[in-house]
Structure 1
Amino acid sequence: MKKLILGLAFAGSLLTHAQEKTKSTSPITFGVKAGLNASTLTKSDGNYGYDSDYNNDQKLKPGFNAGVFVNIPVAAKFSVQPELLFSQLGSKTEEETKSSNSYRSEYDYKKTLSYLTLPLMVQYNILPQLYVEAGPEFGFLLGGKDKGDLTTIKTSGSTTTTEKTTFSNKINKDFYNKFNFGIGIGAGYYFTQNFGVTARFTAGITDIYKHNSGDAVRNNAFQVGVAYKFK
């Protein structure tokens, strides 16, 4: 939480500094944006313990993001854009465990992690309507849910029994870091002065788990969406 407050303070100082610089240049503009996320959770070494008795397949999970932004010109082609977004991250997992030749369990579930995020993008206008961007993203975990199916397969002689259970559980936030930090890069194109499309990839830097004794597990997300500036 302290890191998030420091991030907000840093963003505020940039806003104040930018406002002083832009009094005589381009005006500050406000806007709203929304879009889709395709997120996954990755380990630092990319190894999820694949062996003959255990398989873990991480796939992209769909989600969404929505919020507000302010665009602050600081030079002829540069601007700073702080944003405040609600963003769904997480991963889709297919997991298989074999405890013996006669018993196998299969998990197929989605982990959804909901964050309040503060991206702080520095944008460069290649053309008046086309920009590229990069910058940090600060996030605060609001909650989450694990939802999916557990299938157990038991074999005894020539008889095979299959049992399927559906589950939906809220995550225990005590096991997760409330603060999330990442780096984003992206681009956008405005078809008019008001309406544009955006694309961004954000790579997680911090571990999502609080007491993780193994390799760090990080959020990663592709984001595409639309933006509208009020002018």
Structure 2
Amino acid sequence: MKKIFFSTALILSGAFITAKAQSTTTSSGISFGIRAGVNLQNINGKNANGDKLENKLLPRFQGGVTADIPLADQFYIQPGILYSGKGAKLLDTDIKTSISYIDVPVTFLFKPMLGTGHMLLGVGPYVGFAIAGKVSDDNGNEEKIKFENEVTQAQYDADLYARRLDAGANLLVGYEMSSKFSIQLNAQLGLAKINPEITGASGDKTASRNTGFGLSLGYRF
């Protein structure tokens, strides 16, 4: 957790120094921003028998860059490129599943004036691409996750697998101050299964999906 907060503070400090030195708002009204924060992630769904997965929230880091592109008065489209840590902790154990993604959200953003700043209300899809993953415990044991869309039963029994592609929906609510600093609460609902199909496995009901919510700080240049 300390590493997450340290990374957040470091990124935002760099953003503030850069913003003092230059303005990156283009003549077309497009502006760029940076944000970072803490995600509380989970993996929900069912196991091979159809029983509900019993996991706990796992704190992970998220951070990256965004662009606000004007569509109409107070309406924007906000694409982004974010590093997003996801995963879960197995209930009543110290076993953690951690998967790192590069997420590309596209958020439809409504920014009405509220006081001296703007309220932030957004919704939109995201696509994530897994770049690394592991299952570990507090004793230092860990096993890397391999990424395949489909595996044989023998492969599944021998190693840990997940799909590389994730996709779903994002929701956000927040507030941007007149200083251009912002705070936002976001929720993510994974709609794509991240577990691979097992070739020839009849009756397998496994369905694992990423879900989570988080709190982040941002700065718009």
Under TM normalisation by the shorter chain, which class is it? 0.7 to 0.9
TM-score normalised by structure 2 residue count: 0.72
Question: 2: distance between equivalents of 1:94 and 1:167?
Answer: 18
Structure 1 gaps of 5+ residues are 1-22, 51-55, 96-106, 150-164
1:120 aligns with 2:122: no
Runs of 4+ in 1 over 4 A off after TM superposition: none
Q: Secondary structure at the match of 1:108?
A: coil
Question: 2: distance between equivalents of 1:108 and 1:193?
Answer: 42
1:37-94 per-residue CA deviation (whole Å, 9 max, x = no partner) reads 000011169x9637xxxxx631000001011010011001210000100000010103
Q: Higher strand proportion, which one?
A: 1
Question: 1: distance between equivalents of 2:102 and 2:206?
Answer: 25
TM-score normalised by structure 1 residue count: 0.69
May I ask how many residue pairs the two structures share in their alignment? 175
User: What is residue 36 of structure 1 aligned with on the other side?
Assistant: 38
Question: 2: distance between equivalents of 1:44 and 1:222?
Answer: 20
User: What is residue 214 of structure 1 aligned with on the other side?
Assistant: 205
Write the mapping of 1:63-74 to structure 2, written as runs, cut at 5 A.
63-74=60-71
1:60 aligns with 2:57: yes
What RMSD over aligned residues (CA atoms) do the two structures have, in Å? 2.3
Instruction: Point out the structure with max Rg over C-alpha.
Output: 1
Structure 2 gaps of 5+ residues are 1-25, 149-160, 199-203
Write the mapping of 1:29-178 to structure 2, written as runs, cut at 5 A.
29-43=31-45, 49=51, 57-94=54-91, 107-127=93-113, 129-148=118-137, 167-174=141-148, 175-178=161-164
Question: 2: distance between equivalents of 1:183 and 1:62?
Answer: 20
Equivalent residue for 2:183, pick from 187, 197, 203:
197
Residue 130 of structure 1 and its aligned partner are, at CA, apart by: 0.3
